[in-house]
Amino acid sequence: MKNKTMKGSEFLVKELNADEVFIYEDFNEEQMMMYRATKDFIHREISTNIDKIEKQEGNIVEDILRSAGVLGLLGVSIPENLNGLGMSFNTSMLIADIIGTAGSFGTTYGAHTGIGTLPILYYGTKKQKEKYIPKLATGELIGCYCLTEPSAGSDANSGKSKAKLSKDRKHYLLNGQKIWISNGGFADIHIVFAKIGKDKNHSAFIVDAKSEGITMGPEEVKLGIKGSSTRQIFYENVQVPKENLLGKRNGGFGIALNILNIGRIKLCASAIGGAKQLIEQTDRYISERKQFGLPINQFGAIQQKMLRMQAKTFASETLMYRAGQDIENRAEEVGIIDATSEYAIECAIAKVHGSETLDYVSDEALQCHGGMGYSSEYAIERAYRDSRIARIYEGTNEINRLMLIGQLFKKIQKKQIDIKGLVKQSYLAAAIGLRRLSPIASVKFGSTSGTPLVQNHKTLLGRLIYETHKEVGNKLLDPKNQQLLMSLADILIEIYATESCLLRAERTNNAQHVKWSEYYQYESNQKVQRLAYEIADELDSGLLLRMAIKNLTKMSHYKPYNN
């Protein structure tokens, strides 16, 4: 299905009908066959070997990854003329979804198919693509991505790795240290970022792992994802052929940012695959576990935990496939890199929402298992440890929040997004001193993004953005304003998630979807109202703003809802 594609972040100011948005139920039989084949592979190769994978016994992780290549799972979205399957972006999201059930192998798989392959696919020359991509697609070669340094994490462009063109101008001499390199222990190809001479920005290089001058630290001992190889890599006068410069000189930082956009939304897919599996496992456990003569799934406290886990996961799954199809449609016109760049805000929303949903689900799933969940004999214990990394890699959630709201301000200033209508509505609400409006239902299908609650949140955010800009002006990115920006980001995230839930529930008219959508909207409304008052207090813009928020939140009344 092709949905009516909005420009990036236009969801804030425009409306869609439910039949104009892609939802999970729109995947066709061919795509679902691919999904089931991947699920069978995970059961056959990973679930039966999980203990060996966690201990990284022998070459088992590397061997399983190469086996995935033989089946075509490493080349889902790589063009057919380069040994891939040539399937759509949203199909690759669907595969990332089920890979999320594979524990730490999901990190191994994602690092290879994403950041270890895509820089060459999207930025490589014709010769570079023909040389490396077919082998990366089949698993003959395995890739890794070397960006982070001891002194350069979120501020990746501050890295100290250097590259110097040799006197004969035939190769670069690469020197530097990289840390937290997934697949570092067995990768054949390294995508390495370093600055040439006194350049301001990084350049990217394709480096053969067998090159002289490359050494590695031991495997990192980590809290979770223990089955994923993670190494420090050192480069000392490593000769890199001149033709292995990837993209343009000084262009490495742009490559890093754009590839991370893809990684962020696919991380959401992987996270939600894991969350869905945890919910299934927990549902089985609470149906069998008895206390006080009853299965514990009959206890209200357990029922609420389950409903909250399901609603959050439903929201994440829905928003990521909506965004994925927008990217796919736009990519047909401008290519995947420009498309994901345009939807960078939606990619960041997906990363934050998905990783925090997984974190919540893994925590509550363990709680529902009680002491059993704390035992390593149960998969919940491992999942709890594995889930924690999702809020850190592909850019911490704090950085993603700051980035997405900063990008939104830039789009507003460039008049790519027009929020005048929202601000006008908010001032009108403040001026007339809204009387108590008639209560609205917690969900009102048929009005989609025009549902009073969602539209009110958009109007509220428009006003808060206006007041924030008026207060801080050009000091928007000052570190002292970070809490303010992250609160604005959280409201934007809730708007996108809630609207996506409403649209999908209306499309399917499925009783379970309606229930999850209602519950998600109920809790989201409480969060948005709280954040709005916190922002007003931090801005300290006087009585007018607080009165405006008070009047706007009157539109958030709902009929009594038994959560």
Residues 6 or more apart in contact with residue 392 via CB below 8 angstroms:
none
SS3 content of the chain, % helix, strand, coil (to 5): 65, 10, 25
Using CA atoms, how far residue 169 sits from 106, 239, 429, 525, 559, in Å, is 40, 11, 67, 61, 73
pLDDT one-digit tens code per residue, 344-362 = 999 999 999 999 999 999 9
Q: How many angstroms separate the CA atoms of 9 and 342, rounded?
A: 8
Picking from 438, 419, 433, 422, the residue whose alpha carbon sits closest to that of residue 555 is: 438
Tokens 């934050």 found at: 352
- The answer to whether the beta carbons of residues 344 and 8 sit under 8 Å apart is yes
Residues 6 or more apart in contact with residue 434 via CB below 8 angstroms:
551, 552, 554, 555
Q: What percent of the chain has pLDDT over 90?
A: 78
What DSSP assignment string belongs to 189-204? Answer: EEEEEEEETT-SS-EE
State how beta strands 290-291 and 294-295 pair.
antiparallel
Indicate if the pLDDT at residue 2 is higher than 80.
no
Q: How many angstroms separate the CA atoms of 7 and 415, rounded?
A: 13
What is the pLDDT, as a whole number, of residue 189?
Answer: 98
- The answer to whether the beta carbons of residues 149 and 234 sit under 8 Å apart is no
Indicate if the pLDDT at residue 262 is higher than 80.
yes
Q: How many angstroms separate the CA atoms of 418 and 12, rounded?
A: 9
> Which neighbouring-strand residues pair with 189?
143, 208
Type of residue found at 548? A
Residues 6 or more apart in contact with residue 249 via CB below 8 angstroms:
196, 199, 203
Indicate if the pLDDT at residue 324 is higher than 70.
yes
Indicate if the pLDDT at residue 3 is higher than 60.
no
Q: HSE on the CB side for 132, CA within 13 Å?
A: 29
Question: For the stretch 276-289, what's the b/e string if a residue is b when 16 or more beta carbons lie within 10 angstroms of its beta carbon?
Answer: bbbbebbbebbeeb
pLDDT one-digit tens code per residue, 380-437 = 999 999 999 999 999 999 999 999 999 999 999 999 998 888 887 777 665 555 444 4
Name the least confident of 27-36, 81-90, 445-454, 540-549: 445-454
Picking from 265, 233, 245, 235, the residue whose alpha carbon sits closest to that of residue 120 is: 245
Residues 6 or more apart in contact with residue 454 via CB below 8 angstroms:
495, 498, 499, 502, 521
Residues 6 or more apart in contact with residue 32 via CB below 8 angstroms:
none
What does the CA dihedral 544, 549, 550, 552 come to, rounded to 10 degrees?
A: 120
107: buried, middle or exposed (CB in 10 Å: 19+, 13-18, 0-12)? buried
pLDDT one-digit tens code per residue, 102-139 = 999 999 999 999 999 999 999 999 999 999 999 999 99
> For 210-224, what is the mean pLDDT?
97
Active site residues: 394
Picking from 301, 355, 276, 302, the residue whose alpha carbon sits closest to that of residue 39 is: 276
pLDDT one-digit tens code per residue, 495-553 = 999 999 999 999 999 999 999 998 998 899 889 989 998 898 888 766 667 777 776 66
What is the pLDDT, as a whole number, of residue 556?
Answer: 58
Q: Quote the crossing angle between the two packed helices 344-369 and 379-387, to the nearest 10°.
A: 150
Backbone angles phi, psi at 143, to 5 degrees: -110, 155
Q: List the beta strands (DSSP E) in 24-156.
A: 143-146
Indicate if the pLDDT at residue 442 is higher than 50.
no
State how beta strands 162-165 and 189-196 pair.
parallel
Q: How many angstroms separate the CA atoms of 501 and 512, rounded?
A: 12
Q: How many angstroms separate the CA atoms of 181 and 179, rounded?
A: 6
Name the 3-class secondary structure at 453: helix
- The answer to whether the beta carbons of residues 256 and 193 sit under 8 Å apart is yes
Type of residue found at 89? F
- The answer to whether the beta carbons of residues 142 and 189 sit under 8 Å apart is yes
What is the pLDDT, as a whole number, of residue 157?
Answer: 86
What is the pLDDT, as a whole number, of residue 220?
Answer: 97
Name the 3-class secondary structure at 554: helix
Q: What percent of the chain has pLDDT over 70?
A: 92
What does the CA dihedral 176, 63, 389, 328 come to, rounded to 10 degrees?
A: 90
Q: How many angstroms separate the CA atoms of 335 and 322, rounded?
A: 18
Indicate if the pLDDT at residue 74 is higher than 50.
yes
Indicate if the pLDDT at residue 185 is higher than 70.
yes
Indicate if the pLDDT at residue 443 is higher than 80.
no
- Counting every residue written for the chain, the total comes to 563
Q: How many angstroms separate the CA atoms of 180 and 153, rounded?
A: 10
Q: Is the pTM of this model over 0.85?
A: yes
What is the pLDDT, as a whole number, of residue 229?
Answer: 97
- The answer to whether the beta carbons of residues 414 and 9 sit under 8 Å apart is no
If you count DSSP H runs as helices and E runs as strands, how many of each does the chain have, helices first? 18, 10
> For 13-28, what is the mean pLDDT?
92
Picking from 107, 171, 173, 97, the residue whose alpha carbon sits closest to that of residue 145 is: 107
pLDDT one-digit tens code per residue, 305-318 = 999 999 999 999 99
DSSP state of 211: S
DSSP state of 8: T
Residues 6 or more apart in contact with residue 40 via CB below 8 angstroms:
none
What is the pLDDT, as a whole number, of residue 285?
Answer: 97
Q: How many angstroms separate the CA atoms of 68 and 465, rounded?
A: 47
pLDDT one-digit tens code per residue, 82-97 = 999 999 999 999 999 9
Q: How many angstroms separate the CA atoms of 387 and 513, rounded?
A: 25
Averaged pLDDT score across all residues of the chain: 91
Q: How many angstroms separate the CA atoms of 10 and 28, rounded?
A: 27
- Structural domains present in the chain: 10-138 (1.10.540.10), 143-250 (2.40.110.10), 254-398 (1.20.140.10), 419-556 (1.20.140.10)
